[in-house]
Structure 1
Amino acid sequence: MNQKLMNNNPSNTLLNIAIEAALMAGHEILAVYESGDFSVEAKADGSPLTRADKLAHAKIAAKLEKTGVPILSEEGRTIPFAERAAWGRLWIVDPLDGTKEFISCNGEFTVNIALVENGTPVLGIIYVPDLHELFYGVVDQGALKVEGANGFDNIGELLATAILLPLKHDATTYRVAVSRSHMNERTISFIDSLREEHPGLEIMQLGSSLKFCMAASGEADIYPRFGPTMEWDTAAGHAIALAAGKRMEKADDEGEITYNKENLLNPYFIVR
């Protein structure tokens, strides 16, 4: 199956369909971003929802529904577990990850699409619309990055420019990626413990799933998350990190982080 997913035939692979969906969603998001008309609403949990979230969700759903694989999305989270439990394979999607960053206009927002099989992410795509950067990976096949991803006429040309991850970087500086919006005491304490071994460490504060991208690319050495995340926040980044040879561990106990659980809230984790 993975060999098929990494096939660069632009017409008929799950990878290419998902990349196309992410790019289409990114186009919609940027149009709203540049218009300044966000039409912000409050969801039931108090988090913000914008016109861009809705438009991106519609584009992704229309594209992925053609694959026949069911979709679990942040904007469609109400599907009962009794129904989801029968899904051996599913897409997990966050149409606009980092809505707070989107509203604050700092560019640190992403489109996240993952393919999950039997609770494990096997394929991930993260698109950064404001930077036109695309990260994607298939577990056991590799992770890659495309710059200027909006500038190609077809997926085949786009994938031909992809750069294999992780990239080389300055190994003398230890870098920690952390959330821009969710820094807390436990994260600070964990960073302080890292300083004992890496006294000159640098902190990279980033929004959305960009922290996964930095870990997968090697631009960050570690990404600790001691705060709440949902499955759609992490599935794509988890797949890309695994494809790049990284690990995503539970922070408080052993065992793998799994998906399509009855409770869609993730445990705390560390990527390295």
Structure 2
Amino acid sequence: MDFVKYLYIAIRAALDAGKSIMDIYTDPNSDFGIERKEDNSPLTLADKASNRIIVSALSVTPFPILSEEEKQCPYEERKTWETLWVVDPLDGTKEFIKRNGEFTVNIALVHKNVPVLGVIYVPVRKELYFACESVGAYKLMDIDSANQPSMDVLKKNASRLPSAMFHQGIVVVASRSHQSEETTRYIDNLRKKGQPVTLISSGSSLKICLVAEGSADVYPRFAPTMEWDTAAGHAIAKASGCEVYHIDEKTPLTYNKENLLNPWFIVKPVNK
């Protein structure tokens, strides 16, 4: 089944959601309305506004929506969903609150537990990553969310991923907010193999995008994430010739599991 006809809907939803986030982010009088969820993670007015826009936009499609900011359906119901949207309306809420710009809008379409379409929008940078398994992965710079270019125009102005990027040694991207001892050991083991290792720190799903585009060689994640944190990036990685593996570096992550918590994983090109 070809899902490319849903890509434009997801892109428009991400851009519109990004605009709503930026309206709050740039308001000098906003305190972001920060609340705490049951797991003590932060929730802001921007998370809620983005979620409303995305859920409304995707509701025109025939697929159910699994969003971080919506009440989760019981697994007995979810397991019957062959195809579903997996959404993080504001990935990197901590980075949003810190005002460092490293937050994204993540929208993925998952079919038979595999991400087949992904959109990641970086509102502060006006960067858009998008992919579908039948058309490949792309990055579009300096996109104005107020405009509504057609899908043909988007593809024409975008760069196909991975980009031709050259660097010495191994570039590792790691979490800005959640670097663990296991990650440090993984990086140390790479250094012991004799190649120079450069470490890049980044927030949100941008880390997967950096591997997909070729700016980084590997992203080890030895800390908790949820399916909505990775699904969109996973689709983009797959379409660019990368994969999101369990730590065995052989078994890809799957989605719409009974437990929505991801195992530890490593993002890397398939042939490396």
Q: Over residues 204-252 of structure 1, what are the superposed CA-to-partner deviations in whole Å (9 max), with x where a residue is unaligned?
A: 1000000011000000000000000000000000010000001211015
Instruction: Point out the more displaced range, 56-65 or 152-161.
Output: 152-161
Residue 251 of structure 2 corresponds to residue 255 of structure 1:
yes
What amino acid does structure 2 have at the position aligned with 1:29?
Answer: I
Structure 1 contact 146–158 (Cα < 8 Å) conserved: yes
User: In structure 2, which of residues 182, 185, 191 is the aligned counterpart of residue 186 of structure 1?
Assistant: 182
Residue 34 of structure 2 corresponds to residue 40 of structure 1:
yes
SS at match of 2:8: helix
Counterparts of 1:144-223 in structure 2 under 5 Å? 144-150=138-144, 152-156=147-151, 157-223=153-219
Structure 1 contact 18–64 (Cα < 8 Å) conserved: yes
Q: Percent identity?
A: 50
What amino acid does structure 2 have at the position aligned with 1:154?
Answer: P
Q: Distance in 2 between matches of 1:110 and 1:198?
A: 35
Structure 2 contact 14–120 (Cα < 8 Å) conserved: yes
User: In structure 1, which of residues 124, 131, 137 is the aligned counterpart of residue 125 of structure 2?
Assistant: 131
Structure 1 contact 146–163 (Cα < 8 Å) conserved: yes
- Going from structure 1 to structure 2, the CA distance change for 1:121 and 1:198 (only over 3 Å counts) comes to farther
Structure 2 contact 168–196 (Cα < 8 Å) conserved: no
Runs of at least 5 residues in structure 1 that lack an aligned partner in the other structure: 6-12
Residue 8 of structure 2 corresponds to residue 16 of structure 1:
yes
Residue 133 of structure 2 corresponds to residue 142 of structure 1:
no
User: In structure 2, which of residues 71, 78, 82 is the aligned counterpart of residue 84 of structure 1?
Assistant: 78
Give the drift of 1:197: 2.8
SS at match of 1:92: strand
Runs of at least 5 residues in structure 2 that lack an aligned partner in the other structure: none
Once superposed, what is the RMSD of the aligned Cα atoms? 1.4
Structure 2 contact 64–84 (Cα < 8 Å) conserved: yes
Question: Which residue in 2 is equivalent to 1:229?
Answer: 225
Question: Which residue in 1 is equivalent to 2:19?
Answer: 27
TM-score (norm 1): 0.93
SS at match of 1:177: strand
Q: Distance in 2 between matches of 1:186 and 1:126?
A: 27
Q: Distance in 1 between matches of 2:194 and 2:42?
A: 37
User: In structure 2, which of residues 94, 101, 117 is the aligned counterpart of residue 100 of structure 1?
Assistant: 94
SS at match of 1:204: strand
TM-score (norm 2): 0.93
Residue 125 of structure 2 corresponds to residue 118 of structure 1:
no
What amino acid does structure 1 have at the position aligned with 2:182?
Answer: R
